[in-house]
């Protein structure tokens, strides 16, 4: 470790750390790329569900044109975008190897590494998301475009930012869920509850802007909205980018900070269980 305040060597240290995490992203991408078949199978399923849900939304928007500030095309686009985000945002939960490592005790090894556990997991998760973006997000979007005709993104750079911020929120949430295994003997209950929240309150099942009354207000304020609803609105150009980014960044910071606290807490916990 370089001495604090030593300008040059701390600069070199920062560069080394950056390279380490970039390498982790790359390795994780390659590890997931072994399972192209499984990824494409998932994309096929997402596409089928996209088509079925698109018909329901079309029927609804034919009854109520302009509902929630969308026209029919925007609603169909939204539908395929949500299906495209299931993979990278890992909306059904999981995606992290952490729970298995906690159960097997390998976590002890991770904790003695001279690198932050949270950043390590984040790097691996970004690699996973990058791969799934290619394999599971493009096919449903292209199919939606071919079958129903969807709109093009309003602005690609702002979409990229919203997507990355959404990924951060998704990771930070799943990291907390994964660490809960340390305190609970059986994590299935938490995993199911998390899946419920992520699939329903992210906007996957219906756009959050048609949720009625206080229920809608609540749904749009929760962190799950940052994963699907907000990036989709930025894609469609129906949300102002800056307030959208601020909403996503706030939740990312809050959840990541909680993750830091939880990581600190498991350091003590692991010593107790170890042996």
Partner 1 sequence: MVRTYLLLAWTWTRAAAAYPLSFALMCVMSAVVAGLDVVVILIIFANTTSLAGFSREEVLFLYGAATLAFTVADTFCGNLDRISQHIKAGTLDTMLIRPAGPWIQVATDRFMPARLGRIVQAVAVLAYALTALDLPWQRLWMLPVMIATGLVIFAALWTLGGAAQFVLVDAPEVTNAFTYGSGQLSQYPFSVYGRDLVRGVTYVLPLAFVNWQPGLYVLGRADPFGTPEFMRFLGPVAALLLALLAAAAWRRGLRHYRSTGS
Region binding partner 1 by CB under 8 A among candidate stretches 59-67, 97-105, 125-133, 253-261: 59-67
Determine if 58 is a binding residue for partner 1 (CB under 8 A). yes
Cβ–Cβ under 8 Å, residues 208 and 198: no
Determine if 264 is a binding residue for partner 1 (CB under 8 A). no
Determine if 154 is a binding residue for partner 1 (CB under 8 A). no
Determine if 205 is a binding residue for partner 1 (CB under 8 A). yes
The nearest distance, CB 56 to partner 1, in angstroms, is 6
Among 211, 224, 245, 251, binds partner 1 (CB under 8 A): 211
**Distance between CA atoms of 45 and 32, rounded to whole angstroms?**
18
Q: Which is nearer to partner 1, 20 or 195 (CB)?
A: 195
| Exposed e or buried b per residue across 28-39, where buried means at least 16 C-beta atoms within 10 angstroms of its C-beta | bbeebeeeeeeb
Region binding partner 1 by CB under 8 A among candidate stretches 11-19, 192-200, 250-258, 266-274: 192-200
Determine if 49 is a binding residue for partner 1 (CB under 8 A). yes
Determine if 188 is a binding residue for partner 1 (CB under 8 A). yes
Determine if 189 is a binding residue for partner 1 (CB under 8 A). yes
Q: Provide the 3-class DSSP secondary structure of residue 68.
A: helix
Residues 6 or more apart in contact with residue 208 via CB below 8 angstroms:
201, 216, 219, 220, 225, 229
Helix orientation angle between 188-201 and 156-179, rounded to the nearest 10 degrees: 160
The nearest distance, CB 45 to partner 1, in angstroms, is 4
Determine if 142 is a binding residue for partner 1 (CB under 8 A). no
Determine if 45 is a binding residue for partner 1 (CB under 8 A). yes
Please give the helix or strand (H or E) that residue 16 lies within, else none: helix 7-33
The nearest distance, CB 200 to partner 1, in angstroms, is 5
The nearest distance, CB 24 to partner 1, in angstroms, is 26
Q: What angle do CA 247, 83, 97 make, to 5 degrees?
A: 75
Determine if 138 is a binding residue for partner 1 (CB under 8 A). no
Q: What are phi and psi of 112, to 5 degrees?
A: -85, -5
**Distance between CA atoms of 205 and 198, rounded to whole angstroms?**
10
Among 23, 30, 66, 192, binds partner 1 (CB under 8 A): 192
Determine if 38 is a binding residue for partner 1 (CB under 8 A). yes
Tokens 């906007």 belong to residue: 203
**Distance between CA atoms of 265 and 58, rounded to whole angstroms?**
48
> Which sign, positive or negative, has the C-alpha torsion 55, 58, 63, 68?
positive
- Could you say which residues in the range 60-79 bind partner 1, by CB under 8 A? 60, 63-64, 67
Question: Using CB under 8 A as the criterion, which residues of the chain lie in contact with partner 1 when the complex forms?
Answer: 37-38, 40-42, 44-45, 47-49, 51-53, 55-56, 58-60, 63-64, 67, 186, 188-189, 192-193, 195-196, 199-200, 205-206, 210-212
């Amino acid at each position: 470790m370089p001495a604090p305040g030593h300008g040059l060597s701390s600069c070199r240290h920062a560069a080394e750390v950056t390279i380490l995490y970039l390498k982790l992203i790359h390795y994780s991408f390659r590890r997931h790329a072994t399972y192209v078949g499984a990824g494409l199978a998932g994309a096929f399923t997402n596409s089928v569900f996209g088509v079925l849900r698109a018909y329901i939304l079309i029927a609804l928007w034919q009854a109520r044109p302009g509902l929630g500030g969308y026209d029919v095309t925007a609603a169909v686009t939204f539908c395929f975008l949500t299906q495209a985000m299931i993979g990278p945002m890992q909306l059904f939960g999981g995606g992290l190897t952490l729970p298995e490592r906690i159960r097997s005790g390998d976590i002890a090894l991770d904790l003695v590494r001279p690198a932050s556990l949270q950043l390590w997991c984040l790097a691996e998760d970004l690699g996973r998301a990058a791969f799934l973006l290619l394999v599971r997000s493009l096919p449903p979007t292209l199919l939606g475009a071919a079958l129903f005709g969807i709109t093009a993104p309003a602005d690609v750079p702002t979409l990229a930012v919203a997507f990355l911020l959404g990924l951060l929120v998704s990771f930070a949430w799943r990291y907390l869920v994964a660490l809960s295994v340390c305190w609970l003997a059986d994590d299935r209950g938490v995993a199911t509850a998390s899946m419920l929240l992520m699939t329903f309150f992210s906007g996957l099942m219906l756009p959050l802007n048609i949720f009625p009354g206080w229920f809608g207000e609540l749904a749009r304020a929760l962190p799950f909205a940052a994963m699907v609803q907000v990036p989709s609105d930025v894609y469609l150009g129906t949300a102002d980018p800056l307030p959208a980014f601020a909403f996503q960044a706030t939740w990312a910071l809050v959840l990541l900070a909680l993750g830091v606290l939880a990581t600190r807490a498991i350091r003590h916990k692991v010593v107790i269980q170890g042996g």
